[in-house]
Chains A and B, each alone.
Chain A
Amino acid sequence: MSFITRGFTGRGRERDDRLPPGQTLVGDFPVLSAGPTPDIDTADWAFTIRTESGTEHSWNWDEFMALPIEDVTTDIHCVTHWSKLGTGWRGVSLDTLFADVDTELEYTMAHSYGGYTTNVPLDDLLDGKAWVAFEYDGEPLDPEHGGPARLLVPHLYFWKSAKWVRGLEMMADDEPGFWEQNGYHLRGDPWKEERYW
């Protein structure tokens, strides 16, 4: 007989294996912002992918909403140690947005209304790993959470899921974005605890 048994701690104390190291479950949806919340009318909104040749692939709101839309249920992990499990989103896959994009470059910089930037390798955006999301929990995305649309890259820490996203710029090198210039990790994999430099 073993003296070490999980039975004494009870099932409720077992760590949820969906939680990356150093993370705690939350019920609410904390808001982290580096500045004022931009007020973007969908009539003025556009999403643009710019390649090394200067070619721009751009969608206005109506064109964007006419693209194939996916329902996404995923866990999200913020570098400030909170995680939410099974969150529900609707958005357009980056695979759809990159379908006609011709690029040899391996890195992207996400640009947001309001000036925020974050760098994401192209590999982390493709093959069903990322979306431009416009609904959360069945409702249009609240401006405080990045509406009208935000990047959703749930396998990386949530600062990579740029709020108020307006486009992606292809880059030859993995240049740091806003938080990455100031101590945060270039990639941000929560399972490797890639929080800081």
Chain B
Amino acid sequence: MTSHLDGNALAGPLADFFSFDITTATGRCKACGTVAELARAMVYVSGAGTVVRCATCDHVLAVLVDTGERAWIDLAGVSAIEVRR
């Protein structure tokens, strides 16, 4: 069985994209509507990329691909991200 990490593993990879600690932000899953801190998501890390899945419904929230020189982020599975200042 492929194991996964929790969303805290995203702190480093997402630092390129967000100037705040994104793992403490909450996001809404487009598939099931669950609103949860990103740190609670399920994170599958492989050489091809990082896939972030909703801990409630397993739907893909985000995908990160990093070649070292180039990086992509897809947040299509998240309908909104809330940041508290």
Contacts and interface: CB of A to CB of B under 8 A. Distances in A.
Mostly, the A contact residues are loop
Report which residue of A34, A80, A81, A144 has the largest number of chain B beta carbons within 10 angstroms of its beta carbon: A34
Interface string A107-134: 0000000010000000000000000000
Nearest to A81: B47
A184 B65 contact: yes
Interface residues of B, number: 19
Contacts, number: 62
Interface residues of A, number: 23
A30 interface: yes
A32 B47 contact: yes
A30 B47 contact: yes
Given A115-B60, A179-B49, A179-B65, A35 B70 contact: no
Nearest to B46: A32
B1 A36 contact: yes
Interface of A: 30-37, 78-81, 115, 144, 159, 178-179, 181-184, 195-196
Interface of B: 1-2, 4, 44, 46-49, 51, 53, 58, 60, 63-65, 67, 70, 72, 74
5 contacts: A32-B47, A36-B2, A37-B1, A183-B49, A184-B65
